[in-house]
Structure 1
Amino acid sequence: MAKAYIALGANLEQPKAQLDAACVALEALAETGSFQISPYYASVPMGEFKQPDYINAVASIETQHSPLELLDALQAIEQQQGRVRLQHWGPRTLDLDLLLYDNLVMTSERLTIPHYGMKQRSFVLVPLFNLSPELILPCETPLKSLISAKLRSELQELDSDH
């Protein structure tokens, strides 16, 4: 059994509803009773494209799926919710990124764990901290050492009625 952390993001077609639906799908992938979700946060999009703000969160699950099986399942959820990959960092109905899988460090053509950009992204770090404030990353960096007031100020926590 592995503990996996998954970043959720959406900024098209009712983003909050997209994250809510993704939570239902992720809970179905998780071992019974292991699904947890952070509060939802509004964040400014990355990249050069003019697009709506995102809603982001991080989920944790315990799973018997291998990392690549989990990636396949996450991509299937994205497709079921209308994800179309048109532009890097472009708008999307749903983005699910596998951030961490236990303490595994791996790089393959399809998957890099830990997720390559997670240490620079407030919309990943802050929700991850909500779930696991004592988490030590595979590089042995305590998550709490990456959290700052400036980082928190980049996000707006939304009402937590999910």
Structure 2
Amino acid sequence: MSDVFVGLGSNLGDRTAHLRYALRALHGLPGTRLAAVSRLHETAPAGGPPQPPYLNAVARLESCLRPVQLLARLQRLEWRRGRVRRERDGPRTLDLDLLLYDAARCSDAYLTLPHPRLEQRRFVLEPLCELAPVLVLHSGRTVRESLRALPA
């Protein structure tokens, strides 16, 4: 089983219902166990057009799925909740980001691990810090250190 962290976000419709759906669906993925979930964080959008605030969380999974298989499942869950990819950083019913997959590193047209903007996003680092504050990221800093390094 691999240790996986997934970022969850929603800023359209019933945000809480979208995130609950995602957590139930993640728990039901084959060969996957939902191990822990952060609390929900309400955050301002990070770029993009004017849009409502987000609810964000991070889930820790244990999974036998390979990274590309898991990403495909995440994108299918987004689609089922009405996610339409029109513009970068635009509003969405459900956003599921594969943040970390064990210590895997990869970068291709389909998937980059760890998530390329992980250490730049307070809305990811705060909930991740609840679950794994001393996890060492690829920069060599812990999640807690990366969070403290962000501008206020």
Given the two structures, how large is their TM-score scaled by the length of structure 1?
Answer: 0.87
2:147 pairs with 1:147: yes
CA distance in 1 between counterparts of 2:97 and 2:88 reads 14
Alignment of 1:122-133 (within 5 A): 122-133=122-133
2:47 corresponding residue in structure 1: 47
Given the two structures, how large is their TM-score scaled by the length of structure 2?
Answer: 0.93
1:118 corresponding residue in structure 2: 118
Unaligned runs of 5+ in 1: 154-162
Deviation at 1:147, TM superposition (A): 2.2
Deviation at 1:149, TM superposition (A): 9.3
DSSP 3-state at the match of 2:28: helix
Unaligned runs of 5+ in 2: none
CA RMSD, 1 decimal: 1.8
Q: Give the conservation status (yes or no) of the 8 Å contact 2:133–2:144.
A: yes
Identity of aligned residues (%): 41
Q: Give the conservation status (yes or no) of the 8 Å contact 2:119–2:147.
A: no
Q: Give the conservation status (yes or no) of the 8 Å contact 2:18–2:94.
A: yes
Q: Give the conservation status (yes or no) of the 8 Å contact 1:30–1:61.
A: no
CA distance in 1 between counterparts of 2:93 and 2:119 reads 24
CA distance in 1 between counterparts of 2:39 and 2:143 reads 17
Which letter maps to 1:50? P
CA separation of 1:132 and 1:21: change in aligned 2, threshold 3 A: same
Deviation at 1:150, TM superposition (A): 6.9
